[in-house]
A and B are shown apart, each in its own frame.
Chain A
Amino acid sequence: MKPTKPLLFQIGLLAVAGIALMIPTPQAQGQTLEEIAAEMRSMKERISELETKLEVTESKLASAEAKAESAKQSADTAVQVASTASAGSIITDEKGVIVNGDIPLPVIPQEGWWNKTSIGGYGEMHLTLGDKEEIDFHRFVLFVDHQFDDRIRLVTELELEHSLAGDGKPGEVELEQAYVEMDLGSGYAARAGLFLLPVGIINEYHEPNTFFGTERNFVESEIIPTTWWEGGVGLTKRFDNGLSLDLSGHSGLDVDADGSNAFRIRGGRQKVAEASAGDWGSTLNAEYNGIPGFGIGGSIQYQSDLTQTTSPESNAAWMAETHIDVQMGGFGLSALYGHWDISGATPAALGLAEQSGFYIEPSYTFNTSIGDIGFFTRWSKLEAQKLDSNVYDVGMNYWPTENVVLKADYTRIDEAVDQDFINFGVGFQF
């Protein structure tokens, strides 16, 4: 290790100066010996200081070089580790040279919340003509999901219904989903929070581009009060043969015991908004999707008192539904039957102890050069609090691209209601 040039120069200059002072010159001859000795002591002290500085400088330089060497060794180790890692999926060319470690797989970066949080949504606007004339941006929904780690995720869905919310306004802002789900291994996943109940065909999956008809069918509105969410916990088990089972315990409905909405199922949704939690519900759901294009499933639900004990009698209730959802080539067939059985003298006296409904919906979808065009017809029959009628629908969906749909259909509600509607809709998902 060598001292720096400026330092050497300073030392040399002082040494030369010192020697020059020791030579008796005409000027020196005029100085006393004591003065010369004092100057020499001062020069020695100065040289000593410079030597000390030189030692410190050399020490610092040695430390820096050691650090640089250490960093280089770490870098070499990292390169070796990286090489070993890429060799974990060894693909070689004909000469045995590893060739697959140079280009990273297109995996999602795991650092940063922006890589773990995703958004999506859907919306639909309806125009109704006939016995009701109305245009309504029925719903706009935003999903925000977050992946905490490989096992735990958050699922949320926030909805604005009927475009305008507030006092005296027709719409609402609703939290439709907000739950944490955890994979437990061996096919199990547990969830807790506010979630859509796994009942029926469209309660969980109701993006407008995934079903026929501008409006959702009446059976999955009055018998299964779609969109139906509750707060609670759930456990799902999925088998690799396409069977899945789900069991959840959750807040219950709170239907009116009297008045015009007495024992109307749809009217009992509390939406987990400071909801009564005296009488809980539990739902068991089974789905089989082991044959592509063919799904069959059903649900059973029990609630100890559908009126949350506000009436003097107990109104325990059972709900059962079963459904099929077929999509083979262009042919489609959806069908569902749902039934409520409510105990107690009051619903029996009102003729509402049993409420039920079914629908059957055949369809056919053509692939065309301008997108998919599907035609459907649906027959629904309800014996429900608000609707005791046959309902007929016929219409079409046009998907210019899979996430955008235009709809047009005709609805006829028979019997006492005796109403006709022509509906047009536009829906999207992103």
Chain B
Amino acid sequence: MTSRFPRFLIIGWLALLIGGAGSSAYGQAGTYLSTTEFLAEGFSGKGTPSAGAYTLSSTDQAAAKAILGHAYGTSRLRYWRSGDRSAWILEEIGKTRPITTGFVVDGGKIHLVRVLIYRESHGGEVKNKFFTKQFDGAKLGSAPRYDLSRRINSISGATLSVNALRKLSRFALYLDGKVSG
């Protein structure tokens, strides 16, 4: 039997490679932003932030369970602060791998969301600004639900990654409330 591997498949691959070469694109997994770049963007015009460490208390971990569905994986978090603005770098699993995401909170509202490291094989669209800008201005509701004040629309095929960022944004707002209070 002769194998009839379609020739146009090869032609199509070549067209995809040639046509897409050099265009603006991204892979799924990878490091997209360094801590320095994230902080520079987050505190632009706000001067140099000071760094601090925040130790999660049992009350905080109870809030983490309400927001994330589980206690946060580490008990000590680094954060940066300048005036009313704080920045947090947090991680949550989408489908099987953690998504490292930076959040800047200003006056109790989300100011900036950036995905620093994305490790999943699907759902990388959450790193795009067209998605993350939905969080801008979102505030945190009260306990015990800690809802976001606005609805974040999902991305088809990226539901689990979207859910991870929704949860982390709420936790970042919660943490900001603790150090700003």
Contacts and interface: CB of A to CB of B under 8 A. Distances in A.
A240 B119 CA distance: 17
A163 interface: no
Contact of A284 (B4, B12, B24, B90): B12
Given A147-B119, A235-B16, A242-B128, A328 B29 contact: no
Given A249-B6, A249-B9, A401-B69, A295 B95 contact: no
A309 B25 CA distance: 41
Given A181-B121, A189-B28, A292-B130, A105 B155 contact: no
A412 interface: no
Interface stretch (A8-16, A64-72, A87-95, A341-349): A87-95
Most chain A CB within 10 A, of B36, B89, B131, B154, is at: B154
Interface in A378-407: 401-403
Most chain A CB within 10 A, of B9, B128, B156, is at: B156
Interface string B1-23: 11111101100110011001111
Interface in A109-158: 118-120, 143, 145, 147, 150-151, 153, 155
A242 B134 CA distance: 15
B34 interface: yes
A93 B80 CA distance: 10
Contacts of A309: 1
A228 B26 CA distance: 27
Interface residues of A, number: 78
Given A100-B51, A240-B26, A369 B95 contact: no
Most chain A CB within 10 A, of B21, B95, B124, is at: B95
B178 to A, nearest CB: 16
A4 interface: no
Nearest to A143: B96
Interface in B56-107: 69, 73-74, 76-78, 80, 89-91, 93, 95-98, 100
Contact of B74 (A106, A185, A201, A240): A106
A237 B20 contact: yes
A8 to B, nearest CB: 55
A85 interface: no
A359 B162 CA distance: 26
Contacts of A107: 100, 117
Contact of B97 (A89, A145, A189, A403): A145
Interface string B108-140: 000000000101011011001011001000000
A183 B29 contact: yes
A284 to B, nearest CB: 6
B1 A120 contact: no
Contacts of A260: none
Most chain A CB within 10 A, of B16, B53, B91, B100, is at: B16
B96 A120 contact: yes
B50 interface: yes
Nearest to B28: A189
Nearest to A282: B9
A249 B124 CA distance: 23
A280 B9 CA distance: 10
B49 interface: yes
A293 B128 CA distance: 14
Given A183-B27, A187-B25, A287-B156, A304 B50 contact: no
A237 B6 contact: no
Contact of A89 (B4, B35, B159): B35
Nearest to B7: A282
B78 A304 contact: no
B153 A241 contact: no
A304 B27 contact: no
Contacts of A150: 29-30
Given A120-B95, A205-B157, A240 B27 contact: no
Nearest to B10: A249
10 contacts: A89-B39, A102-B53, A187-B26, A187-B27, A204-B157, A239-B26, A240-B25, A278-B3, A287-B157, A327-B154
Interface of B: 1-6, 8-9, 12-13, 16-17, 20-30, 34-36, 39, 48-53, 69, 73-74, 76-78, 80, 89-91, 93, 95-98, 100, 117, 119, 121-122, 124-125, 128, 130-131, 134, 145, 147, 151-159, 163
Instruction: For the complex of A and B, list the 5 residue pairs with the smallest distance between their C-beta atoms, beginning with the closest.
Output: A187-B25, A293-B153, A295-B156, A118-B96, A292-B153
Given A183-B27, A205-B122, A239-B24, 16 more contacts: A89-B35, A143-B96, A184-B27, A188-B25, A239-B20, A239-B25, A245-B16, A280-B6, A280-B9, A282-B8, A287-B157, A304-B4, A305-B4, A327-B153, A401-B69, A402-B163
